[in-house]
Structure 1
Amino acid sequence: MFTKLMANAGLPSQTLTQIWDVVDEKQGYLSRTGLYKALALTALAQQGKSINDKILESYSDQELPRPSLGDMGDLKNLSVRLHRDRNPTVLGYTYEELSALDTIKVELVPEKKGLILKHVEYEITSRRYHSTVLRRYNDFLAYQETLLQRYPYRMIPDLPPKKLVGVADRKFIEQRRKSLRRFLNLIARHPIMSHDQIVRYFHTFTGSDMQYRIKEHFRGAPDEFMTCEYALKSKEFVPLDTQLQFSNSRVHIRLLTDATLKMRNIAERIAERDTEYALDMLVLSKQLSTIANDTSSVSSWACGNCETWSQFKRGFKGVSSDCALLGEKASSLSIRIEDHVTEILSMFLDLLLAYKDLCDRHEKGVLRDHQRAIQKMGLYKKKKMSATVQGPAEANAVEQLEYRILKQENEISNMENRNYFSLHCVQMETQLIHANLEGLYCALQNLATEETQGYSQMASLWHNIRPLIDAILPERAVSSGATSPSTSPTNIKR
């Protein structure tokens, strides 16, 4: 870290060596005082002064000079990485840092390809890899399967269901597109999986038959346990009360999942109501326009001396256009609620459900295999005891059983290590859930912002519409302070 810091000073390596010789206390590390001296000496060296251990004595009653170290962004990133490496039981990521890992866009390709069974194709753009590739739904399935084999101890979200295009409607296809986008972003923003070659391959491979190529390319690749440098030391990272903490976290996250699901459903209904309101305003606009543009003959035979119809025709035209604008504003609000509120909640919900699947895999997979191995070991030991009792005649059988027991002990040891590694990963994934909790705040903040802005715009339009309506029948216009006209049903005496 100190070397990186000094490299930013732009000084020759010989000068940096001289600075180190002055501040090095031969303790194997640099003290705070030594760091301050090094920074001051760096500043003096940048001013062209010679370096020695006496030069700072003249600053005993003065502020030490400050060096110019350029952009510190890389140093901050290095500091964060070092902190994470030294503290493997703390995730060390914020919601903002996770979101900055990548942003994936998924768009429908307009044309449906295929001669007999047509299919939907997706254009996928990655900000991190500066890539744009085309993928089919089956490519996503192969991608997910490959990730599960490589990372069985991590949260991998579910994919949306597959449905034939001939049966699927436009709404289903759009929902599936959004779900696939959430899936890709959750993987691309995972602190471990995002750096894997599988992710890079999916976002950069431009050849054909992706679903077969990705499986073939990573066939036989070891899982995370086999390649993680601290996998065999995982027991050191698992506290004694891990099972209790794990159980408590599952209860907590079940509550969080239920709450997030209900919040997501509420956001969907808000967007649906805005859409229905938009449709109602467009229908209202159309009906007012129909009245305004009516060309049927209406004579005094029908009207007598009543001019209301002609006044309606003149006035409804302006009201109609503003009602159409209301519909557009409501429709725009609905879209923004879906994109900025519903999608954030859905993404967090996908992550929570992936956590549930991970916990199920941990309990049904690692623990079940461990229990089976222990039972198998017990069976071998019983057979060995039985063969030993029978004497020299069963010596060969005893030797074979001893070999199997040794092999089984190694297998159990490996399973125990896997169990500890799985528990460690579950702890990290639990912390990842908490790091993403800020998404709920962002969703609520966006909801408040969009509702305030949207309804303010619509209120302004209604404010403009009111004088237009009053002008249609000025003699009947209700003053702004009145609640309802005398002929309103709410004012009829009974």
Structure 2
Amino acid sequence: MTDRPLLDDLIRPFSSLPLPSQEQRGPYHGTLTPATLLNDIDLPRIYVDIYQQLIQIHTPLTVDHLKTFLEQNTTAASAKKILLLCDPGIHISFNQCSLAIALLACHQNHMDVSLETVNQYRRELPIPNIRTMPPATVAPAAPTKPPSRSTKKPNATSYEWFLLLDQITVKLVPHREGLVFKHTTYTVHSQLHQVSVVRRYSDFYLLWESLLKRFPLRAVPLLPPKQLRNFNDAFLEKRRRGLNRFMNALVRHPCLGKDELVTNFIHHQDFASWFQKAKPSLEDEFVRTTPSMESLRPLIPRDLHDRLRRWQLRLAPALYAYDQMLDVVQRWIYREQANANDMTRFSIILDAMTEAEKLLMLKEQESLHKDQHAMAHSLKTMGSFLDDRWMPFMTKVMEQLQYHRDLCLSFQALLDRKEDLDRAIEYQQHSIPKVTAAQLIIKTNGFANDRPYQRLTKDQMDIMLTSSHIREALQQHRRTFILYSLACEMENLHRQQVYVSILYQDLVQQQITLTKEQHQQWHALMKTLNSYLPPPPSSRPTTPVST
């Protein structure tokens, strides 16, 4: 007997919903929130300078500190209104402080003080007129050492969160295994967990293929392609580097890095056996998690479609630029390698010439012998420095550039999968499992704890899902999750730019170190050569000429 009242209760909330138009399926218009209003916005420089001055005076920055700053630049009533719009907690974040400065600038420029006004001018924020900064009520914090991995907590307004991320090292096992058909194995070491496992390429491929099924709306990193023959040393080294980039991109991803597949791949000694026994679900993330639509909507930026359009226009030039940079760095390495070889070769020639002329040199030529020996030693030292320190660093630079190029390619592949899924939803070629659909409906009605969908039979589910309003609501839920996933991936891609900044800083620092080393070496050589100069002719003893 059909439980009709229960079925009516589930369908009723959807029956009054009008079917959304094509325009309504476009960009999502959610509620403005102070936490996300100024995300990914190029703020005026004065906004950043004010925040840095405030945190230098007050560490941490609290509501009272921000209130004092606002009251010194506007009226007390306006300062109170601005604080209410910022919705602050105990401590003030960078986004909340920037929003307060934007609202202050709106008030000073005789504009409406509201979140809507800031959102309207978010691309061209007004400049505030700062009359005075609050006095220091506490002494500035003393400089401290950089935080360690085990004690530092991630900060949303700084770039120190990357210190907590794991570092994976993939090394090639020297001896190939197998009795008849030899195969290559790799050692995967986790620096954070201090664990090492041995993996074959088939294990990496199983992990990558499963992640694509479980997370079709995530930027799953690229995997080096298969090859059935011609396993020379150059190919194996190129694949090892690709696998190293693949694993580090996984563990740095905020969602993929926490997945059970990645965790067991790093910790379990026999990943293939675990996969067969555990049989993890390969359903996509939306089906497995059945997220609440109301919890996702506030996390989606209002201008998401505009950001996606700009990212799509940016990807091709970015990939071309990375290819050009890789080519330039490769030629840079070749030139420095040639310089190191020439220095070493020149030093060997000088030593050989000195040894050959050693027996034929006169006493007055001993200074020349010392000069050549000092010159050969200095050139050999500088050549060894380039080989031992500069070349490995430049190889690391190439790997980091290749890593970010791979990130752009994986994001491009994500956009392609998103377009395929959009077409499948539009032409009703994509379906949601009935149990998942029932769970989503229950969550929408607020009955998640009672699990009434378990009392529904297959026929009741079929009747419930025949409603066009329910089908459209479920597909709209799917579209909302797509937008949420894309927003998360764009944020992650933006956060990964910290590695580019660190790369440039390391490159400049290494160049400074190289220049200092070369300067010191040439300077010491000059002093040595000056000490070996022969005396001037006027000071030499003269021999009388007999007549």
TM-score, scaled to structure 1: 0.62
Structure 1 unaligned segments of length 5 or more: list them.
1-31, 36-72, 81-91, 377-401, 477-494
Tell me what 2:242 maps to.
179
Looking at structure 1, the residues matched to 523 and 308 of structure 2 have their Cα atoms a distance apart, in angstroms, of: 56
- For these two proteins, the number of residue pairs brought into alignment is 359
Looking at structure 1, the residues matched to 509 and 303 of structure 2 have their Cα atoms a distance apart, in angstroms, of: 43
Looking at structure 2, the residues matched to 297 and 166 of structure 1 have their Cα atoms a distance apart, in angstroms, of: 55
* Cα distance, 1:163 vs structure 2: 4.6
Looking at structure 2, the residues matched to 93 and 351 of structure 1 have their Cα atoms a distance apart, in angstroms, of: 23
* Cα distance, 1:169 vs structure 2: 2.7
* Cα distance, 1:246 vs structure 2: 1.6
Looking at structure 2, the residues matched to 445 and 76 of structure 1 have their Cα atoms a distance apart, in angstroms, of: 22
* 1:443 to 2:506 alignment: no
Tell me what 1:290 maps to.
352
Give the conservation status (yes or no) of the 8 Å contact 1:315–1:472: yes
Looking at structure 2, the residues matched to 452 and 273 of structure 1 have their Cα atoms a distance apart, in angstroms, of: 18
Looking at structure 2, the residues matched to 464 and 165 of structure 1 have their Cα atoms a distance apart, in angstroms, of: 53
In 2 relative to 1, CA 418–247 (structure 1 residues): closer, same or farther, beyond 3 Å? Answer: same
Tell me what 2:313 maps to.
251
* Cα distance, 1:373 vs structure 2: 1.4
* Cα distance, 1:468 vs structure 2: 5.3
Looking at structure 2, the residues matched to 335 and 165 of structure 1 have their Cα atoms a distance apart, in angstroms, of: 30
Which residue, out of 99, 118, 129, partners 2:193?
A: 129
* Cα distance, 1:219 vs structure 2: 4.9
- Secondary structure of the equivalent of 1:159? coil
In 2 relative to 1, CA 176–443 (structure 1 residues): closer, same or farther, beyond 3 Å? Answer: same
Structure with bigger helix share is 1
In 2 relative to 1, CA 111–150 (structure 1 residues): closer, same or farther, beyond 3 Å? Answer: same
Give the conservation status (yes or no) of the 8 Å contact 2:340–2:386: yes
Tell me what 1:198 maps to.
261
Tell me what 2:426 maps to.
371
Tell me what 1:381 maps to.
none
Tell me what 2:403 maps to.
347
* Pairs within 5 Å for 1:259-408: 259-294=321-356, 315-338=371-394, 341-363=397-419, 365-373=420-428, 406=466
Task: Report Cα offsets for 1:237-280 as digits up to 9, x if no partner.
Answer: 54665333321232245444444444444344333332222222
Tell me what 2:207 maps to.
143
* Pairs within 5 Å for 1:102-117: 102-117=166-181
The Cα RMSD (Å) is 4.1
TM-score, scaled to structure 2: 0.56
Tell me what 1:420 maps to.
480
Looking at structure 2, the residues matched to 290 and 336 of structure 1 have their Cα atoms a distance apart, in angstroms, of: 30
* 1:188 to 2:251 alignment: yes
Looking at structure 1, the residues matched to 150 and 378 of structure 2 have their Cα atoms a distance apart, in angstroms, of: 54
* Cα distance, 1:408 vs structure 2: 8.7
Tell me what 1:227 maps to.
288
Tell me what 2:492 maps to.
432
Give the conservation status (yes or no) of the 8 Å contact 1:288–1:317: yes
In 2 relative to 1, CA 275–147 (structure 1 residues): closer, same or farther, beyond 3 Å? Answer: same
Looking at structure 2, the residues matched to 113 and 295 of structure 1 have their Cα atoms a distance apart, in angstroms, of: 55
Task: Report Cα offsets for 1:219-244 as digits up to 9, x if no partner.
Answer: 54332112335254446654665333
Looking at structure 2, the residues matched to 76 and 131 of structure 1 have their Cα atoms a distance apart, in angstroms, of: 22
- Secondary structure of the equivalent of 1:342? helix
* 1:465 to 2:525 alignment: yes
* Cα distance, 1:349 vs structure 2: 2.3
In 2 relative to 1, CA 337–407 (structure 1 residues): closer, same or farther, beyond 3 Å? Answer: farther
Structure 2 unaligned segments of length 5 or more: list them.
1-86, 91-148, 432-461, 537-547
Task: Report Cα offsets for 1:45-104 as digits up to 9, x if no partner.
Answer: xxxxxxxxxxxxxxxxxxxxxxxxxxxx999969x8xxxxxxxxxxx5854324513221
Looking at structure 2, the residues matched to 74 and 311 of structure 1 have their Cα atoms a distance apart, in angstroms, of: 58
My pick for the range that moved more, 444-453 or 417-426, is 417-426
Task: Report Cα offsets for 1:372-406 as digits up to 9, x if no partner.
Answer: 31799xxxxxxxxxxxxxxxxxxxxxxxxx98993
> In structure 1, what residue type is equivalent to 2:377?
S
Give the conservation status (yes or no) of the 8 Å contact 2:168–2:247: yes
In 2 relative to 1, CA 241–449 (structure 1 residues): closer, same or farther, beyond 3 Å? Answer: closer
Which residue, out of 491, 501, 515, partners 1:455?
A: 515
Looking at structure 2, the residues matched to 469 and 76 of structure 1 have their Cα atoms a distance apart, in angstroms, of: 52
- Secondary structure of the equivalent of 1:293? helix
> In structure 2, what residue type is equivalent to 1:426?
L
Looking at structure 1, the residues matched to 312 and 276 of structure 2 have their Cα atoms a distance apart, in angstroms, of: 33
Q: Which has the larger radius of gyration?
A: 1
Looking at structure 1, the residues matched to 151 and 363 of structure 2 have their Cα atoms a distance apart, in angstroms, of: 82
- Secondary structure of the equivalent of 2:253? coil
- Secondary structure of the equivalent of 2:169? strand
In 2 relative to 1, CA 461–468 (structure 1 residues): closer, same or farther, beyond 3 Å? Answer: same
- Secondary structure of the equivalent of 1:360? helix
> In structure 1, what residue type is equivalent to 2:284?
D
Tell me what 2:216 maps to.
152
- Secondary structure of the equivalent of 2:356? coil
In 2 relative to 1, CA 272–235 (structure 1 residues): closer, same or farther, beyond 3 Å? Answer: same
| % identity of equivalent residues | 24
Looking at structure 1, the residues matched to 429 and 171 of structure 2 have their Cα atoms a distance apart, in angstroms, of: 50
My pick for the range that moved more, 459-468 or 140-149, is 459-468
In 2 relative to 1, CA 325–75 (structure 1 residues): closer, same or farther, beyond 3 Å? Answer: closer
Task: Report Cα offsets for 1:422-468 as digits up to 9, x if no partner.
Answer: 22111111111111222221111111100010121122222333455
* Cα distance, 1:315 vs structure 2: 4.4
Looking at structure 2, the residues matched to 358 and 332 of structure 1 have their Cα atoms a distance apart, in angstroms, of: 40
Give the conservation status (yes or no) of the 8 Å contact 2:210–2:282: no
My pick for the range that moved more, 233-242 or 285-294, is 233-242
Give the conservation status (yes or no) of the 8 Å contact 2:251–2:257: yes
* 1:96 to 2:160 alignment: yes
